[in-house]
Chains A and B, each alone.
Chain A
Amino acid sequence: MTFLSALLAAEPAHEAVKAAAHGAAPAESHGPLGDIIKLFGSFGVDGPHLLVQVINFALLAFVLYKFAIKPALGQLEERIRQAEQLQKDRSAAEAQLASAQKTAEAKLVAASEEATKILVEARNSAKATIEASRAEAQAAQTEVIAKATAAIEADRVKMMNEVRGEVSRLVVETAAKVLEQNLDDSMRGRLNEAAVKQLAR
């Protein structure tokens, strides 16, 4: 309002300037500025109106800038900032995801290696256990065979001794019976005589 009242108050001055321009035109029509004004005047451009329109336009531009463009720019910048934040978050999430994937892959590889190691150890342990059991069984088998062989040999020796003793006993008994049946007193007497001679030697 202040600006409009000032503008209306300046209207007489405008008119005075217009009159001065018309009046002074012949006087200043010789300068380049005068020529330009004259040229604008010949095109119907009114200086004061132009000034008012410029001021109106500036006001409009200011109002538009203040209440429309600036908030819009602010919102746009906010959107851009949000988009950038989103992009940043997305990049961070992607990096985190990549890191997590890498970690997971590393853990997977480590777990796989650990599983392979455990499997190998289990196989080796099982193999060692089997070998130990086999060796133990082999040793037990050898021991059993050795014991059985020794027992068989002992039985064989015992039987041989028993047979030998029995045969010897039979032989001696038979010889004793044969001697008892075949030795008469005369032969025994001669044997006694020989024994006496043997004793005397």
Chain B
Amino acid sequence: MSAASVRAEAKRLLAMSLEGGVVSADLVGAVLAALTKSRASHQLRPLLRAYLANIRRELARGEARIEHAGPLATAEADAIAAHFSKLLGRTVRPVARRNDALLAGFRVRVGDDVTDLTASLRLANLAKSLS
């Protein structure tokens, strides 16, 4: 299989794994079971690798990974996720992780998009503007 056909097949498998626009663990298990039966092992490895990347990307699209300095209330995390759900037009759930190296504020990553409202970024921008 060529790389293009592998990507197309992985994309098709990802579509089969979604339930209501969200990755379903049951569907993913069914897809994997079907793949192991129908494909030879030398064809299965690149396809599984592409499928995994697609699943990860899709999961990241449905998560708002929030890095924050200091305490962040659950209501605030939910407010952030609601903001991005509204902005992107799909359900996004918050996944918070404390990182005091950011000094203050938070950084949100949804899929490939990053929104940074941290004091460390402000200081880095200040350093760039001074140098």
Contacts and interface: CB of A to CB of B under 8 A. Distances in A.
Contacts of B115: 199
Interface string A174-189: 0110011001010111
Interface residues of B, number: 26
Contacts of B51: none
A167 B130 contact: yes
A191 interface: yes
Interface string B60-90: 0000000011111100100110010000000
A72 interface: no
Nearest to B105: A195
Contact of A165 (B69, B80, B104, B131): B131
A188 B71 contact: yes
The 10 A-B pairs of least Cβ separation, nearest first, read: A188-B70, A168-B130, A165-B131, A172-B127, A191-B104, A195-B117, A168-B131, A168-B127, A195-B105, A189-B71
30 contacts: A164-B130, A164-B131, A168-B127, A169-B127, A172-B123, A172-B126, A172-B127, A179-B103, A179-B104, A179-B123, A180-B100, A180-B103, A183-B103, A183-B104, A185-B71, A187-B70, A188-B69, A189-B72, A189-B73, A192-B69, A192-B71, A192-B76, A193-B73, A193-B76, A195-B105, A195-B106, A196-B76, A196-B80, A199-B80, A200-B83
